Structures are given as C-alpha cells and as structure tokens.
Chain A
Amino acid sequence: MHTLTVSELAAGLRARKFSSLDLTLHFLGRIERLGPELNAFVTVTADRALTDARAADEALAKGEGGPLTGVPVAHKDIFCTDGIRTTCSSKMLSSFVAPYDATVVSRWRAAGTVLLGKTNMDEFAMGSSNETSFFGPVRNPWDHKRVPGGSSGGSAAAVAACIAPAATGTDTGGSIRQPAALTNLTGIKPTYGRVSRYGMIAFASSLDQAGVLARSAEDAALLLEAMSGFDPNDSTSVDRPVPNYAAELNQPLKGLRVGIIREFFGEGLDPAVEKCVRAAIGLLQQEGAVIKDVSLPSLPLSVPTYYVVAPAECSSNLSRFDGVRFGHRCEQPKDLLDLYQRSRGEGFGAEVKRRIMTGTYVLSAGYYDAYYLQAQKCRALIASDFARAFNDVDVVLSPTAPTAAFELGAKTSDPIAMYLNDIYSIAANLAGLPGISIPCGFVNEGGKDLPVGLQLVGPHFGESRLLSVSHQYQRHTDWHKRIAPGYA
C-alpha cells in the first residue's frame, strides 16, 4: 500500500479496496519501524491520525468526501497545528502547543486528509541539509550517511521512504525543491501569495511560500490545489481563482518553449548532474518542445542578495521570541535584559543566531543603504531578468542543485559553502516565481545511487504549466517511480 501514489490511494479508498483506518495503521507502523533511523518526525500524532481515519471512513461509507478523503499526510513542523506541539525544530519552541491551525493545515484537513505527524526540519527553516535541527539531523533514505537536503528534510525523507504518502514543505530559498531533488521527489513551490502563510511560522516574509513534496506531479497537482487560494488572514494572499491543476496536466509538450538558463550550467555544477539534466532536455526536445538558450545576467547576484534580504527579515521576525509570551525562558533572569539575552541565546541554535546577527547588521544605522537597499535593487534586477526571459519562453530550466546529496557534516563548518548549495533555487523566491523540482536521473557515488533533480520555473501563477510539463515528462520516464533500496 505504501508505494501507491496519493491519486491511487484516494481511488482505492473511494472504491473501498481498503479503509482509511487500514491505511493509517499501515503508515503508522512504518513510521514506528523506519522513522527513527531517518529521524524524519519530530512528533507522531497517532491518536489524531486514528480519529481522522475513522471520520474519513464514515464519510466514505456515506459516499461523501473529496479527492483526498482518508489519505494520510505529514506536515512540516513549521505549520501550526491546534492542540499539537509545533516546534520549528527549535529548542525555543520545543514545548510550544499551537493554539490554532495554519490555513494550509485546515485546508488539507477540510479536504479529508489524515494527520500522521509533524516532520523534522532545519531550525526555523534556516539550512539546506536539515542539520541545524534541535532534534538532530535527518538522514537521506538513499544513503544514511548523506543529508536529505533542507530545510524541509524531514518531509522529504518521510515521503521518499514511503512512510508518508505526501507532506507539506515551505520554501524560502529552495527548501522544498532542493530536498525534493536530493531524495527523488516532485516538489513544488508556488507563486508568492498563492498559498496562505497564516499559521506558518515566519522566517523571511517576502520569500516564504508553502508547497508540496510528493512522489509524482499528478499528486503534487491534487495536493497543491487543496492548499491554495485566497485567505483574508494573510495580507499578502492573492485573491485569484485556483485552477483545477489535475485537469490541466495534459497540456502537450509540442510547441512548449523551454529556456535553458546559461548562467546555471557553469562552474560548480557536477558534470554527472549536468549529464542527467541534459538528457532530460533532449527528451523534452524529442517530444516536440522548442529548446532555447536564455541568459539571465543578474542571476549570479542571487545568493548574496538572498543572504542580505532573508537574514534582515529573519532578524525582524524572530524578535517576537522574547521569553515572555511563549517559547523558552532562561532560569533565574536577573533583569529584563538578561531575560531577553539568555532566553534567546539559549533558545536559538548557532545558525539561527548567525542569521539574526547578519540581519541586524545589514539593517543597522549606517549600513542599511549599502546592504539592504542595494540588495532590494539587485532583487529588482533579478526579477526583471526573468520577466524578460518569459517574453520568449514558457518556462526556464536548470538543475535544482549543483550536486547530488552530500555527506552529513560535509558543509556544517562553512556557512558560505552551505549557502551556495541553493545557488539555482534562490532566484525564484527573490522574484516570487513558482518553481518545481522533478527527478531526472541518478549519479553513483560510493556505490550508492543518488537522485538528481531538474528545476522548472515559470511566470507568476504559472503552476499549471509547471505541473503539466512535469507530468508529461513523467509519462515518458520512470525516474520518479524509483524508491530507495529497503523502503519499497
């Protein structure tokens, strides 16, 4: 049952081939057996899952329910879940019980999903390897010595290991797409404003977007539709109809104009990864897509721009953790300043503190114009590069990440090396564009097959096209169907 896609599970449930309770018990069993070796979950919500499953079975028995009724899912532990511990993988929130549901959580719940638990992540979503979590690193199901990517590493590992059929993620600079690439999943980050950020613990508010980690584009289409749409509780939510993504999956590849981003095939790209991506481009061309070389000259500014803008917003957002209203408080504070400094010093991990301080510095008097304002101008240059490219092409294509999964500990002592891992994914966030990563092959390292992902980025609200191109590619390939040894 666990290797079935969400679409297949939903069909099986509606046809009464199995009950949601059977399915939920099966996945809870796998989480218990295989979860610990991956460290994919922070909290398993077994009781809640069984309650949800029984309710789903009742609905299904009456012929009610939607396309996701009875399907078990997991949420990244950045989404508030009413009455359930929500930690953001931080000591700061290690005993925080959310008082309400995030909109993404309530929408998936309304669609009938069953909540298996909350997945591990980089602390406050700051990381690209899931090694900054207070609850320890997550391991990649394809090779336990390697990282699953981050920050949605727990969600990625859980779905890749088939211990959850699908999971939510969030993506501020690549945190859905890069782990999807490193674990052989389909991961979509929609347009900024497409999915509500209400109840999603903020890291960098102008970049954060929620999305989906799934095992096919078809599943991603179903799941994205169920979480998208206008929400008055998020002031940046866009009031615009949500397409029926699943119904639009069969747009033909013939005539599709694909721009190959020249700047993303240069130095730093592993030749073995490039080979997989080039082969995928060849397939698209063979199926009638028109391949064009495009240049986006400002893209090399993406990583430094991001490491000004994101820490600045993080520094501001994380000032709410003051040891007073919620979260960790130090023992025996001698005065209010001591309470703030020690509560925050103890509650945040090293990378979070580093980003808060970077942000504090670039926003401080005398430096604001040189760093923050200049970065926002560079951001405008990057966005206009994309806008120009989309005059000539429908989507742009690149690798998702420069290498396959790296080993645990390989980049933890060098923040810049870690940041450069998101070199191809960050630009889409800066421009607010939708992006998807899909499996496109494997490289062999140390005797292990490691997945490779390719990234498609489209114009604002172009999710439907990204999903249909991905689905058509997946009709001609079976990379996405491969499951890590030991987890099939």
Chain B
Amino acid sequence: MSLTRTQVEGIAHLARLEITEAQMPVYVESLSRIIEFVEQLAAADTAGVEPMAHPLADQVQRLRPDAVSETDQREKFQQNAPSVAAGLYLVPKVIE
C-alpha cells in the first residue's frame, strides 16, 4: 500500500517529528516502499498461532518490592538538561 503525503504528515505529527518541506517527498516514497515490503506478512498462515510476547517462552517478568532503592541524584541528572531552574525542568509556557 502506498502512503499519501497527508498520511505521512499525520504519522510525523503523531511521532512529534518535524519533517522539512524538502524531505517530505523522500519520506513518502521510502515509507511507502517499507510498508509495501512488510505487507508480505499478510500472506503468512498464522491461524491459531499465539503472538510472541517474550523471546524466552518460559520467562516471566520479575517484580521487585516497592521500596526506595536509589539515592537522590537530581543535580547530577539535571546537568544534562537543556534548561533547569531551582531543580525544575523548564519548558515553554503551557497554560495561558
């Protein structure tokens, strides 16, 4: 199935990705080809097959006690943030 420009714009919006005007036709073309390529899966007979949820069949997701195990490293972590003040992450105004 070929994707339309409108569809690709919709996908880019859902993914919160700005795609430049110049690049848009390239994505329309390549994403269409990828979707066409993966569509061959539709022909596989998967009747009665359970979808795989984990690569190791007998593995179960472990749980841990709900207890504090980490120390506070906020300052260290915030050294990587583009904009912080008083221990808070800054973003453009959200509420008018």
Contacts and interface: CB of A to CB of B under 8 A. Distances in A.
Given A235-B61, A345-B17, A431 B81 contact: no
Interface residues of A, number: 71
B52 A380 contact: yes
Contacts, number: 167
Contact of B14 (A337, A360, A375, A432): A360
Interface stretch (A259-267, A300-308, A390-398, A442-450): A300-308
A193 B15 CA distance: 29
A357 interface: yes
Nearest to A461: B56
A251 B38 CA distance: 41
Contacts of B3: 361
B82 A329 contact: yes
A206 B17 contact: no
Interface string A313-328: 0010001001111111
Contacts of B87: none
A33 B18 CA distance: 40
A354 B59 contact: no
A333 B62 contact: no
Nearest to B40: A304
A416 interface: yes
Dominant secondary structure of chain A at its interface with chain B: helix
Contact of B15 (A207, A235, A315, A379): A315
Contacts of B46: 374, 377-378, 380-381
Given A97-B80, A336-B92, A379-B52, A356 B15 contact: yes
B34 A97 contact: no
Interface in B2-40: 3, 8, 11-20, 23, 26-27, 30-31, 33-35, 37-40
A236 interface: yes
11 contacts: A192-B56, A232-B64, A304-B40, A323-B82, A326-B81, A341-B13, A353-B17, A354-B27, A364-B11, A364-B14, A381-B44
Interface of A: 96-97, 99, 191-193, 206-207, 232, 235-236, 238, 298, 301, 304-305, 307-308, 315, 319, 322-329, 333-342, 344-346, 348, 350, 353-354, 356-358, 360-362, 364, 370-371, 373-381, 383, 415-416, 419, 430-432, 460
3 closest A-B pairs (Cβ-Cβ)? A432-B55, A345-B18, A376-B51
Given A96-B80, A301-B40, A335-B94, 9 more contacts: A99-B80, A193-B55, A336-B92, A344-B16, A346-B18, A356-B17, A376-B51, A378-B46, A416-B33
